[in-house]
Amino acid sequence: MSTSKKTFALSLLIMAVVISFAFAWRYIGSAKAQGKVKRTISEIKFYPSSVIPPVIIHTMRVRGKQVEMSTMFEEGNRRLEKTIKPEEEFEEQDDFCEHIKFDAANRSEKKITYVRFRMYFYTQEGLARRTLDTAIEIDYGPAKYGETPNRINPGERATISIPEEMLPELRMEILRVGGQIVRVGVYVDVIHFEDGTMWNWDGSVKKISDMKRVSYVKWSNERTYSRIRR
């Protein structure tokens, strides 16, 4: 490689590092400057009230402190008519999303081999439009980097959090949104059982007909939850 090409490549590398540092500094500075704002974490319920989901999300925590969850999109609250109770809100800094952790318990009688969780992120403007600002998917079960696959036996539970490797992209997404995240919605999108059946977000149960490989992280910039739901 010629000297001029090496110099050009080095310049591009330095520029990329500077831009990444600037984004990270802006994010950290924003989180500190904004101080604590009222937030809420909601369990999203797309399934009918008559359905008992095989996995229950509970013991929601932020920075190790337990918080009470609100709910979204259940019957009687499809358009967020339901008022959030005072005890379902908590004050936190802008980076609170990074510190969300919860337990997922298997209350079925079958061994679970895979669960996909979705998280929807809302700014105040997004809530006014009743549309999400961005979303992520977290997969639990598939083996990563040669590790043993995770399973959840009946009566057992797993602790779920946003994987460390996803955080840089999450920070960039929140910066792209350009507003404070004030509400996070969490729900179980799909569950695979050892017997070859699967449970879906709408409460339906069917046979697993296509075991496509799922990626560990996917981003969605869809503007309405109806479009992202598949």
- Are 131 and 189 contained in the same domain? yes
Confidence of residue 1 (pLDDT cuts 50, 70, 90): low
Place of tokens 């600037």: 22
7-26 pLDDT, tens digit per residue, is: 555 555 555 444 454 444 44
- Do 16 and 69 sit in the same domain of this protein? no
Pairing of strands 100-106, 65-66: unpaired
How far apart CA 124 and CA 127 sit, in angstroms, is: 5
Q: Is the pLDDT of residue 83 over 80?
A: yes
Count of beta carbons in the 10 Å neighbourhood of residue 138: 19
Residues 125 and 28 in one domain: no
Q: What is the structure's pLDDT at 31?
A: 45
Is 122 found in the same domain as 17? no
**How many domains does the chain fold into?**
2
Domain check: are 15 and 106 in the same one? no
Q: What is the C-alpha separation between 152 and 95, in angstroms, rounded?
A: 30
Same domain as 13, residue 88 = no
Q: Which helix (H) or strand (E) holds 210?
A: none
Pairing of strands 37-44, 181-193: parallel
43 with 29, same domain? no
Residue range(s) defining the domain that contains residue 25: 1-34
Q: pLDDT for 169-179, tens place per residue?
A: 999 999 999 88
CA pair distance 82, 44, nearest whole angstrom: 13
N- to C-terminal Cα distance for the chain? Answer: 48
| Residues composing the chain | 230
Tell me the pTM: 0.77
List pLDDT tens digits, range 90-117. Answer: 999 999 999 999 999 999 999 999 999 9
As a whole number of angstroms, the distance between CA 191 and CA 205 comes to 9
Q: Please report which confidence band the pLDDT of residue 188 belongs to, taking 50, 70 and 90 as the band edges.
A: very high
In this structure, are residues 166 and 137 in contact, taking their beta carbons and an 8 Å threshold? Answer: no
The whole-number pLDDT of residue 205 equals 95
Which residue in the block uniquely carries the two structure tokens 């999300």? 57
